[in-house]
Structure 1
Amino acid sequence: MSPVLLASLLVTVAAGDWDRFDRPVELRLDRPGPVRVVEVDAGGRTLDPAVPCQLEADGTLTFLMSGVTKAGAERRFQVLFEAPREFKPLVKVEEVADYQGQASFRIETPAATYYYHKAGAGFASLIDPDGNDWISYRPTGGSDGRYRGIPNLIHPESDFHPGGANSVSRAEAGPLKVSLHSETRDGAWSGRWDIFPYFARFTVLRAPRPYWFLYEGTPGGQLDLDRDWWASSDGSMQPITESWAGKLPAPQWAVFGDRAQVRVLFVAQHEPDEASDQFWQMEGNMTVFGFGRQYRCCEKYLRAVPAHFTIGLAETADLDRAVKFLESAVRPLSIRVEP
């Protein structure tokens, strides 16, 4: 007897202990699409007939829990196995023949524009809506150019680092998420970026030896030793001139800001560990923040595979609000699926 294919599923998403802001929801379906997602209330009445959604070939469904979902709240969504409603894409990707010396992917989102070097497998730029580049990689110099990037994972080979030449990358594009798949040419290292409307998540998929995850860049567009600051999950907030080394408490994160800016950049490590972390500014030109990095150089301490990291810009200069935004992105959701 053939299995009965249900016409819809009910997905209940619980925010948990944290406010959620335009949070993508991801789950795996065991039947083919197409699908349409509808938000409903507790009585089954339609609240939003066209929730932005994206179904991938492997059965991963991503949809957007739009707006603010308060801590402790639940929202309900019907997944209908029918043609989706069209919506304006929230992320776009295009190929660029040359960006700062290398063929690249350009990804546009409401929060930022990313430039990703294909052969380097790293971000060369993260440009905010006002045109400020929070990375500012250049193919020349040192701390004033070619040292910069995210995630700068592999040292000393400079793989998964803009400007590198030893990786191959491909993009999978959808209206809600762009995925960038990269691996070194020998196949030893592999990782994937999932870029959503308001943040990007990196997954380390293969790593044959210890690595680190770095933010080497320019808060607000240019490192300013008088205005810039940074904060971390140990509760400290200090000027950018203040160096630090130690172990950040979970959930591990750092936030970087410029007192002249109305937004901040955050980086977060999802899985807790006992590895050392560190920060210092280099020559008045760039940040050197690292999860799993020896102060100042050059032992690497991260070993987990898979491992997950998230970066993004938060549209606030207030640290407490920025932390709420990054926790919205990093803290796991509770998802219940019912027929």
Structure 2
Amino acid sequence: MSSSQFQPLLGTIALLTGFLPTPVCGVTITDAIHEGRAQFRIETARATYFYDRSGGGFSRLIDRDGNDWISFKKEPLSGTRAAAGAGYRGIPNLVFGAGNPDAGAGHPGHDQCESTVIAADAIRTVSKSGRWGWVWRFSEEHAALTIEKADPERPYWFLYEGTIGGRWSPRSHFWGTNRGGPRREQPFGRDKVFDSWRWVYFGDDAAPRVLLAAQVAGDDASDTLWYMGTTAEELAAPDGMIVFGFGRGAAGPLLRGAGQRFLIGLVEETAGGLDGHARLADVAARWLAAAESADGAPSIEVWYGDEQHFGRLGVPQKWINILGRATARAGLASLHYSLNGAVPMALSVGADGYRLARPGDFNIDLEYDALPAGANILKLVASDVAGRRAERTVTVHCHRGRVWPLPYAVDWRQEQTITDAVQIVDGRWKLEAEGVRTVEPYYDRILAFGDRTWTDYTVTVAVTFHSYAPPLKSAPTYGVAHAAIAARFPGHFADQRRPHVQWYPLGAVAEFRLGQQLDQSSWRIFRDGTANSRAVAIVEPRMRRVELGIRYQLKLRVDTLPGPAARYRVKSWKYGDPEPARWDMDSKEGGATIASGGALLVSHNTDVTFGKFTATQNDPEEP
């Protein structure tokens, strides 16, 4: 937009408010016309919005490819099914109801409102009656709505009614929520879906993006989703729209009062599977955390989603772990969790120099065998020093009776989410083209797989070292930085810390250590130990050089020996080279206090990518 285009709006703002706004990076607002009606055109990096000035709602939402995700038309405006292809469409379509004198406020095509630009990134709308008022504030990522005033006698809702991906094609549309996705149900008419959601996205198979909508303060009010065609053929109708509503119950609007906040925006991400859904969940969590912290309220991130499954493949260790971060601008006072309605338990939060890397980090150890089978409800409550609270609910699904298959192989290119292939014990991880990578390297970032029944097996994994923290004696390196494989790991010992930090007793953890200098790298094996005696350390005498950015293969084999005892052997080589015949280390020392257990991949203060890996049953005839 040229500066001359912006001058009329600057003059209007100066006249109404007495100041000139500072232009906001990535957001411009100009005048426009759509369907013969006066609009504000808001251009951002990801979307162009058309805002109906008299209606107080969006009539168009245009993506980078020119597709309109709302597609409002003024005729017919209402009163007929045909309006599903025209005047029913819009965002947020707030005020509704027969006999409500403000019905139509917040809806394009109506004339109940007056709207003004109040800053270079913000528009305020007030109903002509004076009973309603709200502000939209725009960023490069999304638009944020705050309800400033609401008629105390009238409920309202927040709707998205429009064309997903710019077209009416229910059979190619999908959607997802904080409870799961992507979903392809096509509810219509009397077959509406009702639930209570925190966020929701909408996508089309032909679109490289989705529309994400979120309610900043979650509630228990009913939300709904369904498709509405322009004719009685419903899904087969020639035109129509998605109908979604926060606070839209079966009998009408449910939201009340000022203070409600909502977010909408296009996200350049598809949800073609569970991994896409997980990435969108991360975006939603980030948006919500930023919105909550903006007004000082605490916020709670749960890193791997509000629906988590354990035991689907088998049980690698005794604990399951729910990880995340709680923040509060005023200062976090406390964080508690309650499982299935039990008395709330206080949580330790980071940083602690061990498993909790950053301020506000938490890791809830839950004993798998103590969980009831099926869905378990975990409620988190964070409070700040000013007494404000935030809540988050996680459904923990406990699956029983399954044994992790052996042999087992993972090619990350075939996985939709990290947790489809492994159980995350510690840390933030992301799925990339070459594998799974640490997001925040720190003390013992851990992935678990395998089964508590596994005994003699071999694990081989591809590892790329990107960077590392030089090993110092103090926290959090404690003298070592490494990538490691562990075998026969029962789970952290239940010491006095929460989360628990004691590794022993265990089978063994084989650490491929990076030295102060990269040519000082070598293996170290910790094995055995008891609740009261440390594990035994065996150090490889030979040093070798490691190159950052180069992929290596690491291999660990465990075999049962008479006694009972156990033998642990390790080797490493550059990816693509022939596997060496000889093992780098061979440890037979000690007694085998742990005779079985799953495996771990571990990064300790090292930025690594774990690529393809395999676990195979040992052939006792092989050397």
Q: TM-score, normalised by structure 2?
A: 0.38
Q: For residue 239 of structure 1, what is the amino acid of its counterpart? A: R
Aligned to 1:150: 91
1:87-102 maps to which residues of 2 (within 5 A)?
A: 89-96=25-32, 98-102=33-37
Counterpart CA distance in 2 for 1:223 and 1:213 is 21
Deviations 1:149-198 (Å, cap 9, x if unpaired)?
Answer: 00000013211000010100001333xxx111001111001111011111
Asked if 1:292 is matched to 2:247, the reply is: yes
Counterpart CA distance in 2 for 1:287 and 1:89 is 32
1:159-198 maps to which residues of 2 (within 5 A)?
A: 159-174=105-120, 178-198=121-141
| Partner SS for 1:302 | coil
Asked if 1:274 is matched to 2:220, the reply is: yes
**The one of 155, 166, 178 aligned to 1:221:** 166
Q: 1:279 to 1:162 in 2, by over 3 A?
A: same
Asked if 1:255 is matched to 2:201, the reply is: yes
Counterpart CA distance in 1 for 2:330 and 2:129 is 40
Counterpart CA distance in 2 for 1:327 and 1:140 is 38
Higher relative contact order (CA 8 A, sep 6+): 1
Counterpart CA distance in 2 for 1:276 and 1:171 is 33
Q: TM-score, normalised by structure 1?
A: 0.69
Q: For residue 292 of structure 1, what is the amino acid of its counterpart? A: G
Q: For residue 128 of structure 1, what is the amino acid of its counterpart? A: D
Counterpart CA distance in 2 for 1:240 and 1:256 is 12
Task: Give the C-alpha shift of residue 206 in structure 1.
Answer: 1.1
What percentage of aligned pairs have identical amino acids? 36
Q: For residue 49 of structure 2, what is the amino acid of its counterpart? A: Y
Counterpart CA distance in 2 for 1:154 and 1:166 is 10
> Between Structure 1 and Structure 2, whose CA radius of gyration is higher?
2
Q: 1:244 to 1:231 in 2, by over 3 A?
A: farther
Gapped regions of structure 2 (runs ≥ 5): 1-16, 77-82, 98-102, 230-234, 271-275, 294-327, 332-623
Task: Give the C-alpha shift of residue 309 in structure 1.
Answer: 0.4
Equivalent pair of 2:149/2:257 in contact (CA under 8 Å): no
Task: Give the C-alpha shift of residue 136 in structure 1.
Answer: 0.6
**The one of 178, 199, 212 aligned to 1:233:** 178
Aligned to 1:111: 46
Counterpart CA distance in 1 for 2:31 and 2:149 is 26
Q: For residue 305 of structure 1, what is the amino acid of its counterpart? A: A
Deviations 1:201-230 (Å, cap 9, x if unpaired)?
Answer: 101111112100000011100121221011
Structure in which a larger fraction of residues adopt helix? 2
Counterpart CA distance in 2 for 1:109 and 1:173 is 15
Counterpart CA distance in 2 for 1:240 and 1:144 is 21
Gapped regions of structure 1 (runs ≥ 5): 1-56, 62-83
Q: 1:206 to 1:260 in 2, by over 3 A?
A: same
Q: 1:247 to 1:240 in 2, by over 3 A?
A: closer
Deviations 1:296-327 (Å, cap 9, x if unpaired)?
Answer: xx511111421100000110102221221122
Aligned to 1:246: 194
Aligned to 2:156: 211
Aligned to 1:13: none
Equivalent pair of 1:256/1:266 in contact (CA under 8 Å): yes
Q: For residue 172 of structure 1, what is the amino acid of its counterpart? A: I
Aligned length: 248
Counterpart CA distance in 2 for 1:145 and 1:193 is 24
